[in-house]
Amino acid sequence: MAETDFDVIVIGAGGAGLAAAAEASAAGARVLLLEAGARAGGSTRLSGGVFWAAGTSLQRKAGIEDNPDDQFHYYMTVNQYKVDPALVRRYCDLSAPTFEWLVGLGAEFPLENLYVSGVDKIARGHRAARHGEDIADALEGALAGRSVDLATHTRVEDLIVGEGGVRGVRVGGEQVTAGAVVIAAGGFGNNRRMWAEHYPSAAKQGALAWYIGADECRGDGIEMAQRAGAEITGRDRGLLLMTPGFTQDLEPYLPPWLMQVTHEGRRFIDESTEYSVLAEVLSGQTAGECFAIFDEAARAGAKATPAPNWSAERLAEFAASGLLKQADTLEALADILGVRPGALVTTAARYSADARAGADTAFFKEARHLRPVETPPFYGARIRPAVVCWTGMGLRIDAEARVLDLADRPMPGLFAAGETTGGFAGPCYAGGGASVGNAVIFGRVAGQNAARLALG
């Protein structure tokens, strides 16, 4: 192989890029790690720091018996097999070993932070003590003493493609060559143009939609690979969080005591259901939206947790400003919101009776989350899936993190991992922490294989 500037170039220093650089350098590769932002960590650093895994030492400590086979079956079933089975199988097989690897690097996952982050009632969500900071710091620390050059404030302009495949990158008007390139540049959450083409569920929310990840995630890693001939997959995949649009503050959880109804005036779900599936269920309702309904007693008793904007004081402010609608009767409130009035009155009466009896006879929500809706004034807020948490459309890869071309062949010298890739995310976000897990797991795979190619 001709002499190159580096063995491996990694584009993006988020969770996937850091993991790739760590593994490539551990294999003896000279690595150039290029980051468009001011520091390493990307969206992983900004995340809740949850790692979705099965069969871990922490689960065993908690007395939980779990394994990759059950994890795989759950993930495939809940996503109706609308994902790449090879990627999911690789994830499940590597989730526990990668979790232990992170622990070995210094990431702390307290036992009390182990929780049920999916809808299968098995505690697979491993939340780090300092959230995303913990995971990002552990990964960045793994580079200490290694042959890794980290350049921040450096955005890659394009790939260099020559004889034998991808040969490096163009950055700052210069060409930098390598034996292999790993694209770990994140998704396209901060690119509304790409929303329109690849994530219409987000684009149709218009000005209400906003993105919570790293500002540097603009999709250019995806597009530069496309220009080189890469295939993309996973259109209209990602995670949207539900929001009333009161403010642009991240509140993953709406209060579970709300009564949520459709335009037809009916409830459609247990309102305490995990945010990971709420948006997908809501997408099947009329206009893809619902309404949070509650009364004055519920408002007056509302606490700031888990959603600060839903405290008694803040709700009063939103009602005074008109962001939160209110009326003296449910029929009048229904008219303001565009909800079928007779059905809303019936739904509220049944819900209130269930709340007093301490048993939800319709959707079986826990009794502690039930609040009667009978004391005027009544309040209503339009709820839509409009907060872009992460995007799931990206480069098509195989289980070895090799980028595939339009003929379904691995592109020599090109690997990818994390939010830059597609195929792993399905219609349902099967478990909180799967996006961080996807980044770190396939970042490791990409780094290992890129080093093997470059050094081999």
Within-domain flag for 93: yes
Q: Give the angle 321-323-325 at the CA atoms, nearest 5°.
A: 100
Residue 351 and residue 283 share a domain = yes
Q: Rounded mean pLDDT of the chain?
A: 96
pLDDT of residue 1: 44
H/E segment holding residue 344: helix 341-357
Distance CA(95)–CA(440), nearest Å, equals 9
Between vectors from CA 176 to CA 171 and to CA 178, what angle results, nearest 5°?
Answer: 130
d(CA 127, CA 374): 39
How far is CA 58 from each of CA 109, 114, 133, 276, 286, rounded to the nearest angstrom? 8, 8, 20, 23, 42
Decide if 113 contacts 54 (C-beta within 8 A).
no
Residue 50: both structure tokens together: 């949850």
Instruction: Examine the domain organization and report whether 163 and 48 are in the same domain.
Output: yes
Asked if residue 124 lies in contact with residue 71, where contact means CB atoms within 8 angstroms, the answer is: yes
Which pLDDT score, from 0 to 100, does residue 2 have? 63
Same domain, residue pair 217 and 151: yes
Domain carrying residue 126: 6-236+393-455
Q: Which pLDDT band, with edges at 50, 70 and 90, does 10 fall under?
A: very high
Q: Is 77 in the same domain as 180?
A: yes
The CA angle 426-403-418, to the nearest 5 degrees, is: 50
- The CATH number of residue 121's host domain is 3.50.50.60
Q: What's the average model confidence in pLDDT over 334-341?
A: 98
Does residue 145 carry a pLDDT above 60? yes
Domain boundary, last residue among 331, 362, 387: 387
Reported as a single tens digit per residue, the pLDDT across 375-408 is: 999 999 999 999 999 999 999 999 999 999 999 9
End position of a domain, from candidates 387, 417, 447: 387
Residues 66 and 161 in one domain: yes
> Which pLDDT value is given to residue 252?
76
DSSP string, 74-126: HHHHHTTT-S-HHHHHHHHHHHHHHHHHHHHHT----GGGEE--BSSS---EE
Q: Residue 371: which CATH number?
A: 3.90.700.10
Render pLDDT for 262-311 as a digit per residue (tens, 0 to 9).
999 999 999 998 887 888 899 899 999 999 999 999 999 999 877 899 99
Question: Omega of the bond prior to 377 within 30 degrees of 0, cis?
Answer: yes
The tokens for 278 are: 């709420």
Domain assignment present for residue 162? The answer is yes
Question: CA 161 to CA 159: how far, in whole Å?
Answer: 6
Q: Is the dihedral of CA 164, 168, 170, 175 positive or negative?
A: negative
Q: Are 9 and 184 in contact (CB under 8 A)?
A: no
Q: Are 245 and 383 members of one domain? A: yes
Domain match, 154 and 260 both: no
In a domain, 1, yes or no: no
- Split into its structural domains, the chain has a count of 2
Q: Are residues 266 and 118 in the same domain?
A: no
| Pair 244, 382: CB distance under 8 Å | yes
DSSP letter, residue 316: H
What's the rounded mean pLDDT across residues 210-216?
95
Both 286 and 149 in one domain: the answer is no
Give yes or no for residue 51 having a pLDDT over 80.
Answer: yes
pLDDT of residue 163: 85
User: Which of 332, 364, 387 marks a domain boundary?
Assistant: 387
